[in-house]
Amino acid sequence: DAGVTQTPRHEVAEKGQTIILKCEPVSGHNDLFWYRQTKIQGLELLSYFRSKSLMEDGGAFKDRFKAEMLNSSFSTLKIQPTEPKDSAVYLCASSPVQNTGQLYFGEGSKLTVL
């Protein structure tokens, strides 16, 4: 069984650019999550989808961050425009059970904004 796949693994962007990160969840999973991981803030929830419907949208991230789930097997996270403080690892995770089940994390996309 394929795990959660995230692309690209590394991205370098100039301040003000638009970047799109991609995620393919485990086949058959209903829930999909985007998290941002930094050493200072730890893991912060950006978005949570259940069966493609947006359930939770991290309040602090609404203005420049937009996650979409175009179909049950593909999600994107767009950051527009990027700022240096967006430099972090972006993690996608999926879960087979309604929310209170084990999350399967991807390897992450490391974003550096210059």
Smallest distance from other proteins to CB 76, Å? 18
If residue 50 lies in a helix (H) or strand (E), which one and from where to where? strand 42-50
Cα–Cα dist 15/39, whole Å: 21
* Binding track over 83-112 against other proteins, x by CB under 8 A: --------x-x----xxx-xxxxxxx----
Whichever of 25 and 106 has its CB closer to other proteins, that residue is 106
Cα–Cα dist 107/114, whole Å: 22
Sequence-separated contacts (24+) of 40-43 with Cβ below 8 Å: 43/91
- How many residues make contact with other proteins (CB under 8 A)? 21
Contact residues toward other proteins (CB under 8 A) are 33, 35, 42-43, 45, 48, 50, 55-56, 91, 93, 98-100, 102-108
